[in-house]
Amino acid sequence: MKKLQNKVAIVTGASRGIGRAIALGFAQEGAYVIVAARSEVEKKELPGTIYKTADEIQNLGGRALPIRCDVTDEASVNGMVQKAIAELGRIDILVNNAGVAFYYPVLETPFLRWELVLRVNLTGAFLCSKAVLSKMIEQKSGSIINISSLAANERDGATISTGLAYAVAKAGLDRLTYGLASEVGKFNIAVNCLKPKHVIDTEGMRFWVKEEERKDWVSPEKMVRCAIFLAQQDASGVTGVVATDEEYFAWHGL
């Protein structure tokens, strides 16, 4: 029996990067994956679309449903979740992975950019979580996984390099994780946060960082294995935890 057999999982930001890797990993474990992001047409500087990820899953024998979704737009989020429920009848797992950074200090951060970074990384997770909760409550189980960053914990250079808007948004996402975990535990829903310990080589990171500075980057493999582990949780298991992939590996023998 595969670990996520017959589970329905929404992965936001699954058109590329870590989200795509998690979507592929979930599908290989038997989940039906909703590939949710905005890109329907390939962009030169940021490759990947929802259809491409869904095709990759199907070519590997998995099941996927691509649905366009902008996580900053409540109607778009609700429409995506309603379509998923109409087609598949249930939602077991939500991965709030969609994210954007802005690699500049506050003095060089326009208001609209500040707002966008908070809306994608934090408000998007709130909107997607809210949209799936009533179905998960009805099912009396569910797992929500928020993809955060060590930028939320840094107080010096690292925070400045990824931009303070991003660090603040991810700190909010950490806080949302354990607050929501305690709110929805009584409905048997787990909420956890997963952060990479090391920089993951993704299309988004390549966009921002010059080739000569891409040292010690790693593949998303450990993130995928942790996401599969967290996707299997409900409130009787691991919940309310904010930790890195390395920590989940060490604590749970992954």
Ligand X SMILES: NC(=O)c1ccc[n+]([C@@H]2O[C@H](COP(=O)([O-])OP(=O)(O)OC[C@H]3O[C@@H](n4cnc5c(N)ncnc54)[C@H](OP(=O)(O)O)[C@@H]3O)[C@@H](O)[C@H]2O)c1
Active-site positions read 166
CA neighbor of 83 nearest in space, from 129, 34, 39, 40 = 34
Counting contacts by CB under 6 A, is residue 71 touching ligand X? yes
Counting contacts by CB under 6 A, is residue 192 touching ligand X? no
Q: How many residues does the chain have?
A: 254
Both structure tokens of 53? 């990820």
CA neighbor of 121 nearest in space, from 65, 82, 182, 177 = 177
How far apart (Å, rounded) are the C-alpha atoms in residues 236 and 181?
A: 12
Q: Residue 29: which residues within 8 A CB-CB, separation 6 or more?
A: 2, 3, 4, 5, 228
Q: Which is nearer to ligand X, 136 or 200 (CB)?
A: 200
Q: Which is nearer to ligand X, 138 or 221 (CB)?
A: 221
Q: Quick one: angle between helices 221-231 and 245-252, nearest 10?
A: 60
Among 70, 92, 234, 245, binds ligand X (CB under 6 A): 70
Counting contacts by CB under 6 A, is residue 97 touching ligand X? yes
Query: What is the CB-side half-sphere exposure of residue 164 using CA atoms within 13 A?
Result: 9
Among 57, 98, 226, 243, binds ligand X (CB under 6 A): 98
Counting contacts by CB under 6 A, is residue 159 touching ligand X? no
Among 11, 22, 24, 72, binds ligand X (CB under 6 A): 72
Among 4, 24, 37, 190, binds ligand X (CB under 6 A): 37
Counting contacts by CB under 6 A, is residue 204 touching ligand X? yes
Q: Which residue is nearest to ligand X (CB)?
A: 204
Among 109, 202, 233, 244, binds ligand X (CB under 6 A): 202
How far apart (Å, rounded) are the C-alpha atoms in residues 179 and 47?
A: 35
Counting contacts by CB under 6 A, is residue 15 touching ligand X? yes
Counting contacts by CB under 6 A, is residue 147 touching ligand X? yes
Stretch that binds ligand X, among 81-89, 179-187, 198-206, 246-254 (CB under 6 A): 198-206
How far apart (Å, rounded) are the C-alpha atoms in residues 222 and 138?
A: 32
Counting contacts by CB under 6 A, is residue 243 touching ligand X? no
How far apart (Å, rounded) are the C-alpha atoms in residues 196 and 243?
A: 9
Binding-site ranges for ligand X (CB under 6 A)? 12-13, 15-19, 37-39, 69-72, 97-100, 120, 147, 149, 196, 199-200, 202-205
